[in-house]
Structure 1
Amino acid sequence: MDQNFFKGLENKTGVNMNDIFQLANSLQYANLKDENTVRQVVQQVARIAGRDVPKELEDKIVKTIVNDGSKLDFNTIANMMNKKK
């Protein structure tokens, strides 16, 4: 793809595209039924996004992915992270 496209995304979002590609590669063969693997992925996504994910929310996301990963989509995770208390 066009390097200018990725640079534009990086500038707009503040997220390094290399980090996104590394995350995507690590997920390719990840066992999303393994709690430790899922917890590492959640922490990695939070780090890339520059978000602090409280332990309670991390536990909820991990439980949702491990128990019901086949029905999980990014909107569900985004809603969980953006929900106000």
Structure 2
Amino acid sequence: MQNPFFKQIENKTGVNMEEIFALANAIQYADFKNEKQVRKIVQRVSKLANKPISKDLENQIVKSIIQEGQSLDLSKIQKMLG
């Protein structure tokens, strides 16, 4: 990504903007009642945020998202990761 603004974000956070856009796209089109999709998104967010989570916490987050069954934004997952 050549945009200087995005390059600054990458340098500051150490997170590749391409990965963020791919994750945002996955979130936008995800079926939040599909456990496999939700689990994959939670794992990607954990990896991107460099915040490893236990299997128990992952299960709690996935269960919470599936119960709501609606769209989800990154800030909500971020809060869950604590």
Same fold at TM > 0.5: yes
Q: Which moved more, 1:63-72 or 1:43-52?
A: 63-72
* Amino acid corresponding to residue 78 of structure 1 in structure 2: Q
Structure 2 counterparts to residues 38-53 of structure 1, below 5 A: 38-53=38-53
Offset of residue 27 of structure 1: 2.4
* Amino acid corresponding to residue 61 of structure 1 in structure 2: I
The alignment yields a C-alpha RMSD, in angstroms, of: 2.0
Segments of 5+ residues of structure 2 without an aligned counterpart are: none
1:36 partnered with 2:36: yes
**Based on CA coordinates, which of the two structures has the bigger radius of gyration?**
1
Query: Contact 2:42/2:77 (CA < 8 Å) preserved in 1?
Result: no
Aligned positions, number: 81
2: distance between equivalents of 1:26 and 1:75?
15
1: distance between equivalents of 2:6 and 2:20?
11
Offset of residue 56 of structure 1: 1.0
Deviations 1:25-65 (A, max 9, x none): 22232111111110011111111222211111101110111
* Amino acid corresponding to residue 64 of structure 2 in structure 1: T
Taking structure 1 as the reference length, the TM-score comes to 0.80
Segments of 5+ residues of structure 1 without an aligned counterpart are: none
Taking structure 2 as the reference length, the TM-score comes to 0.82
